[in-house]
Amino acid sequence: MALQEKPADFSLKNKEPGLSRDSLGQTSKMGSPGSVSGGFKDLQGIGRGNGSERDNGMCTISVGENRYVLAERGRRNGRNLQDLGINTRQTMAHVKDKKTGTSGMPVKLMTNLFGLTLSMDWRLYQYHVDFSPEMTSRKLKTALLYTHGETLGRARAFDGETLFLSDNIGKLKHLESTTKRGETVKITITLTNQLPADSPVCIQFFGVLFKKVLKSLNMYQVGRNYYNPAEPVNIPQHRLMLWPGFVLSIMKLESQLTLCADVSHKVLRNETVLGSMNALYSKVPKERFTDMCEKELLGLVVLTRYNNKTYRVDDIDWSTKPTDSFQKKDGSEITYIDYYSQQYDINITELQQPILVSTLKAKKSDSLDAPRAVHLIPELCYLTGLSSRALADFRLMKDLSMETQLDPERRQQRLMKLVTNIQRHPEASAELEKWGMRMDKQISVTGRIIPPEKIFMRDNVCTPGSPADWSRDTRNEKMICVQPLQNWLMLFSYRNADMAENLLQCLMKVGSGMGFHIEEPRTVQVEDNPVSFLRSLQKNVKPELQLVFCVIPNNQKDSYDSIKKFLSLDHPVPSQCVQARTLGKQQMMMSVANKIAMQMICKLGGELWAVEIPLKSLMVVGIDVNKDAINKSMSVVGFVASTNARLTKWHSRCIIQKTTSDFADCLKMCMKGAIQTWQKCNSDLPNRIIVYRDGVGDGQLRMVVDYEIPQLLSSFRETRTSYSPRLSVIVVRKKCISRFYKQTDRGIQNPVLGTIVDSEATRPEWYDFYLISQNARQGTVNPTYYNVLLDENSLKPDHMQRLTYKLCHLYYNWPGVIRVPAPCQYAHKLTFLVGQSIHREPSPELSHKLFYL
């Protein structure tokens, strides 16, 4: 039932660096009541909303031939175990004994890693527990088992079936306990596994242990991280609040078990869902309110402060109100108003507001009558994260970054405060002590600084004043290869005619310095609306056009999307869009024109600059994956491969498929197409292929190793029976929590550009390294993590690292070094355009040009 026009009691009154997107600039006691199918379960559902974990769940996992049970069922822990069971380094003979490089200047670095010490003979003992007679209540079974505390010892964890102990109590124990009713229960405890400290299960178990430690410090889990609501940071001018917190990870590194800790912040709006609905009601036509409300709210994550849990809004039940009743677990009826009053001492004021629905993910251990969803009251739900409008607010983002982008000095202070709190808090330190664990000092590592790269232009070799930025050279030097722009179309609205003319003159000036000849375009003036732009394109776009240039009057996404769809699908022509407000600052025009000219050169198939690439007959591939913004069940796979020896020209392919589809089948088709394109351009097949695979989530390494790599290898045989190039596959991770700092006379600072860390902070079973390939003007630099899963090229670690760093110089949308190799960033730009704007596979006619910059 739709919301009435105005119910009596429901008063609804109240970037990458450079020019992103074509210069467009678009950058507790009890749980919530919960069951949509059947009655609500008032004692279930706590922490079972999306983004939350259950405190006492268990999951079964397999490692090798053994089967273990782990005392945590959080989704991240279950996935990570698959990664922990993979040993790829042993399959590569050239790095089996040593995977570290030697070139470059050594540098001592601090980290956010802390050693964890266990006794030499430490073991985790896993037991299976049977009860006779059988019983279903985990709480009762725990109470009966724990009456034998002297037998079990202090360190114990039990989920109802599996018991973990730090002491060996023998292979078999027969115990008896008595219930309050006087019934005798026989308990049989059977040893099933003895696990060493470096086993995957133990590492995950330690993660669970530290979650208990953080809870003892009165920190709350929100999603995967822990936050401290007692020390909020208010930003009143923007009605925002920050909860400071931490993200932790336990890992076995080269020589020791470590705790990796990094600072995190949770952005909370001082605005409830009800307040957002009120504001929306006053802005939109009443007949469209429900549709607009669902469009605005569905998919958002909200926080209920009465239990500090997060939930995703999956639906809005307009027919249910807080005055309605639901059935509790004991069968009795209670209204939402009374429920929240009794359980949380909260009074609901708006009696006609609808109910939010958050769907629960089904779990194997759930009973048939387990709740399938949680019902939430909009008045009690606070919005989290930032809206698109907030993200576009420069002042808001600047004020927010002052609190969230901590420099190395402030980040170090936060980390040391956490460690001190753990060591001095009686309950936290006792939790570690009873399991035989002790926190050690912060770990330091030795990195290396590799020399800066030379940038090759058409006539000169440049050594930039700053290794991170050679924009000044792009204004004074000619680009390597430039196609003259002779036949092109320029569209703009009547009121932006002067801006367009001014931009054209600036483009011609900067173009001459680059060696980019630009002739006068055919201009078309249109009305100031998206429909007029599209109609003009339909009338004026011809196959012989080299480029279409559009000055868009505002930042409406619909206008940008319609232009890109038409010029990427219906009439494939490279296009350049720029927002009118970008051209509004006269003093910035030459700089803006310079960046736009570089994008135009690339879209015409040109080459800007190069670096020295010693390897011959080498094809480099970048792969990334994004979700489609409209259809979340579809994935957009971007595949970008080099087509020349200098690695300056690229072939692109984009595939849209169901998220559940076999991903590597898509890669197989893309690889065959890339090899055929290389052969056309070079009259030969590449002898070496190096794949940089971005977009690999937790627990997906096994899929890449066992499924994707074999499919890539089979694509070679299908290209030509005897064809067998040497293949290397490297997984690229932009999001890692490891941080590195340099102690200087001026305090703790970020490492310099080109710093490599390939020992001490890496994993012994993997051929991996960290590379810092960006400058952080504010905050702490974020290293990029590389994991080489296969290296048939047998490159020395120095050469693999140096090649990776070289590729970070070849992204043509920014005259400087970027975080990931250029083909990965190209693949990301491609999937972003398709997933956000055109939602179909682009025309193959554009595949040899960087049309998506």
Residues in contact with 435: Cβ distance below 8 Å, sequence separation at least 6, in sequence order: 155, 166, 209
pLDDT at position 40 is 24
Average pLDDT, stretch 252-259? 91
Amino acid identity of 144?
A: L
**pTM for the full model?**
0.85
pLDDT at 428 over 60: yes
CB 413 within 8 Å of CB 295: no
- The reported pLDDT for the residue numbered 664 is 60
Q: For residue 61, name the pLDDT band (cuts at 50, 70, 90).
A: very low
* Structure tokens, 188: 């049989």
Instruction: Over range 717-722, report the average pLDDT.
Output: 85
Residues 334, 280: contact at Cβ < 8 Å?
no
- Strands 184-196 and 220-222, by their bridges, are unpaired
367-376 burial: b if 16+ Cβ within 10 Å, else e? eeebbbbbbb
Residues 6+ apart with CB under 8 A from 353: 10, 274, 277, 321, 322, 377, 378, 379
Name the residue with tokens 């006609």.
352
CB-based contact 771:805 (threshold 8 Å): yes
Give Cα separations from 814 to 202, 599, 608 (angstroms). 44, 10, 11
Highest mean pLDDT among 252-256, 621-625, 714-718: 621-625
Number of helices and strands in the chain (H, E): 21, 38
C-alpha 143/C-alpha 138 separation (Å) is 9
Map tokens 């080269």 to a residue.
254
State pLDDT tens for residues 776-815.
878 899 999 999 999 999 999 999 999 999 999 999 999 9
Higher pLDDT, 834 or 60: 834
C-alpha pair distances (Å), 789 with each of 62, 97, 696, 803, 805: 21, 16, 12, 16, 18
Domain boundaries along the sequence of the chain: 123-196, 482-603, 618-732+788-846
Return the C-alpha torsion angle 156, 158, 161, 167, nearest 10. Answer: -10
Contact 223, 310 (CB under 8 A): yes
Peptide bond into 133 cis (omega under 30): yes
| pLDDT tens per residue, range 562-618 | 999 999 998 999 999 999 888 888 888 999 999 999 999 999 999 999 999 999 999
| Topology annotation, domain 482-603 | Rossmann fold (3.40.50)
CA-to-CA distance for 242 and 233, rounded, in angstroms?
5
Residue with tokens 């909009």: 378
Say what the pLDDT of residue 26 is.
Answer: 35
Which residue, 53, 425, 68, is CA-closest to 208?
Answer: 53
| Contact assessment for residue 146 and residue 152, using Cβ atoms and an 8 Å cutoff | yes
In angstroms, rounded to a whole number, what is the distance separating the alpha carbons of residues 718 and 735? 35
Specify the pLDDT at position 654. Answer: 94
Fold held by 123-196: Alpha-Beta Plaits (3.30.70)
Angle between helices 663-682 and 709-719 (to 10 degrees): 40
**What pLDDT is stored for residue 370 in this prediction?**
55
Which residues contact residue 659 at a Cβ distance below 8 angstroms, ignoring those fewer than 6 apart?
A: 627, 632, 633, 634, 635
Max intra-chain CA distance, the chain: 97
The pLDDT assigned to 5 comes to 30
Distance CA 82, CA 700 (A): 8
Written as six digits, the tokens of 420 are 């001190």
What pLDDT was estimated at residue 65? 33
Q: What is the mean pLDDT of residues 411-417?
A: 94
Distance CA 524, CA 378 (A): 49
pLDDT of the residue at 55 = 34
Give the separation between CA 820 and CA 811, rounded to whole angstroms: 9
Find out whether 700 and 675 touch, Cβ atoms under 8 Å: no
58-62, 488-492, 624-628, range with the lowest pLDDT: 58-62
- Please state, in angstroms and rounded to a whole number, the distance separating the CA atoms of residues 843 and 417: 55
Q: For 538-551, how does the pLDDT look when each residue is reduced to its tens digit (9 = 90+)?
A: 999 998 999 999 99
The amino acid at residue 824 is: C
Read off the tokens for 363. Answer: 């779990």
For residue 241, the tally of other CB atoms under 10 A from its CB is 17
**Residue count (the chain):** 853
| Sequence-distant (≥ 6) Cβ neighbours of residue 188 within 8 angstroms | 129, 130, 132, 172, 173, 174, 175
Residues 607, 634 contacting (CB under 8 angstroms): no
Identical fold for domains 123-196 and 482-603, yes or no, is no
Asked whether residue 695 carries a pLDDT value surpassing 80, the answer given is: yes
Q: What is the CA radius of gyration of the chain?
A: 30
208 confidence band (pLDDT: 50, 70, 90)? confident
Mean pLDDT estimate for the chain? 84
- The reported pLDDT for the residue numbered 43 is 21
- How far is 440 from 101, CA to CA, in rounded Å? 28
- What Cα–Cα distance (Å) separates residue 508 from each residue in 13, 272, 571, 590? 53, 52, 27, 10
C-alpha 316/C-alpha 300 separation (Å) is 12
Q: Hey, is 130 helix, strand or coil? A: strand
Between 519 and 5, the higher pLDDT residue: 519
Cβ atoms of 159 and 57 closer than 8 Å? yes
What is the reported pLDDT for 362? Answer: 61
pLDDT tens for residues 133-160?
Answer: 888 888 889 899 999 988 898 888 887 8
395 pLDDT above the threshold of 70: yes
Residue 392 confidence (pLDDT) above 90: no
Query: At 427, which amino acid appears?
Result: E
pLDDT classification of 79: cutoffs 50, 70, 90: very low
- For 465-475, write each residue's pLDDT tens digit: 666 778 887 88
Q: What is the pLDDT of residue 660?
A: 67
| Structure token pair of residue 601 | 């050169």
Q: What is the mean pLDDT of residues 702-714?
A: 91
The DSSP-derived string for 738-785 is --EEEEETTEEEPPPTTEEE-SSSS-TTSEEEEEE-S--SSS----EE
Architecture of domain 618-732+788-846: 2-Layer Sandwich (3.30)
CA–CA dist 101, 131 (Å, integer): 57
Mean pLDDT computed over 679-688: 94
Helix then strand then coil, % of the chain, to nearest 5: 30, 30, 40
Helix axes 200-216, 75-84, angle to 10 degrees: 150
Please give the pLDDT value at position 203.
86
Percentage of the chain lying above the pLDDT 70 cut: 88
Instruction: State the pairing for strand pair 315-317/309-312.
Output: unpaired
**Predicted pLDDT at 724:** 92
Q: Per-residue pLDDT for 60 more than 70?
A: no
CB atoms within 10 A of CB 635: 22
Q: Distance (Å, rounded) from C-alpha 263 to C-alpha 386?
A: 19
- Lowest mean pLDDT, pick from 20-34, 255-269, 345-359, 414-428: 20-34
What are the distances in angstroms from CA 703 to CA 54, 734, 748, 765?
Answer: 27, 19, 40, 17
CB-based contact 478:561 (threshold 8 Å): no
pLDDT band at 663 (very low <50, low <70, confident <90, very high): low
Between 161 and 762, whose confidence is greater?
Answer: 762
Which of 45-54, 192-201, 316-325 is predicted with the least confidence, judged by mean pLDDT? 45-54
pLDDT band at 307 (very low <50, low <70, confident <90, very high): confident
Q: Which two tokens stand for residue 303?
A: 């926080």
> How confident is the model over 318-325, as a mean pLDDT?
92
> For residue 652, what pLDDT is reported?
96
Calpha distance 634→627 (Å, rounded) = 6
pLDDT tens sequence across 266-299? 888 888 999 989 988 888 888 889 988 988 888 8
